[in-house]
Amino acid sequence: MHEKFEALIEGYLADDYATCEDFFDEKLIAALRKNLLKGHADGIMHRAGVGKQSSFQQNQKVRGDVISWIENDSIEPSELGFMRIVEAFYRHLNQTCYTGINGCEFHNALYETGSFYKRHLDQFKQDSNRQFSLVTYLNEDWVDTDGGELVLYLSGEEKIIQPQGGRVVFFKADKIEHEVRPASRERMSIAGWLLRE
């Protein structure tokens, strides 16, 4: 795990973002995907909000995913496995970069065919506790023509990332604007933030 933690940290220090393949092993990704799809079938996912005051209709123009938050004390095995690794990662990040992360929040997200999330920044204006964004993809056999790319707007460059299962993207939540482009199939991810509260 250590080399993967280092890969994300080195990328972030050099470029403000990093990606890593197979950050979580294949079995865990498959279990997380199954868990997300079960939650969706059971009707526990709900339309995601945007700012604090925006209306439902305004939200729909900005983002179309449905989400369910992962409780920090979840005992569901795949969510627990995910959280343990994330916590080990941010402890390592704190030790090497003095980042002072003391919490995290993550949600399962499902984008139906054609839905998107317009260009945005993850750190709220009113609230700066989101320090880093960490997105994990759960999609099997994603191909370029499926769309659904994550676009990172770096200074002077757009970085396009396919939401391939097992891939993780890590970036500064207050710096990197990004968007999710519409896909021609259902698109699943776990998106979340490392917090300094």
Residues in contact with ligand OGA by CB under 6 A are 109, 117, 122, 135, 150, 163, 178, 180, 189, 191
111, 150 Cβ separation under 8 angstroms: no
Q: Which is nearer to ligand OGA, 91 or 160 (CB)?
A: 160
Taking the C-alpha atoms of 67, 72, 73 and 78 in order, what is their torsion angle to the nearest 10 degrees?
A: 60
105, 133 Cβ separation under 8 angstroms: no
User: Given CA atoms 83, 104, 150, 40 in this order, what sign does their dihedral have?
Assistant: positive
Q: Which is nearer to ligand OGA, 61 or 91 (CB)?
A: 61
Binning the chain into helix, strand and coil, the percentages to the nearest 5 are: 30, 35, 35
Q: Report which residue type is found at 31.
A: A
Q: For residue 122, state whether it binds Mn ion (rule: CB under 5 A).
A: yes
Q: Which is nearer to ligand OGA, 79 or 122 (CB)?
A: 122
The CB-of-74 to Mn ion minimum distance in angstroms stands at 22
**Interatomic CA distance for residues 34 and 64, integer angstroms:** 21
The CB-of-103 to ligand OGA minimum distance in angstroms stands at 17
Tell me the window of 21-29, 108-116, 118-126, 148-156 that interacts with Mn ion (CB under 5 A). 118-126
**Interatomic CA distance for residues 46 and 179, integer angstroms:** 20
- Residue 180's binding partner among Mn ion, ligand OGA, none (Cβ under 5 to 8 angstroms by kind) is ligand OGA
The CB-of-147 to ligand OGA minimum distance in angstroms stands at 12
The CB-of-122 to ligand OGA minimum distance in angstroms stands at 5
Q: Which is nearer to ligand OGA, 3 or 157 (CB)?
A: 157
Q: For residue 149, state whether it binds Mn ion (rule: CB under 5 A).
A: no
Q: Which is nearer to Mn ion, 20 or 180 (CB)?
A: 180
Q: Which is nearer to Mn ion, 174 or 186 (CB)?
A: 174
**Interatomic CA distance for residues 54 and 85, integer angstroms:** 34
The CB-of-169 to Mn ion minimum distance in angstroms stands at 10
Ramachandran region, residue 64 (left: φ > 0; alpha: ψ -120 to 50; beta: rest): alpha
Q: Which residues bind Mn ion (CB under 5 A)?
A: 122
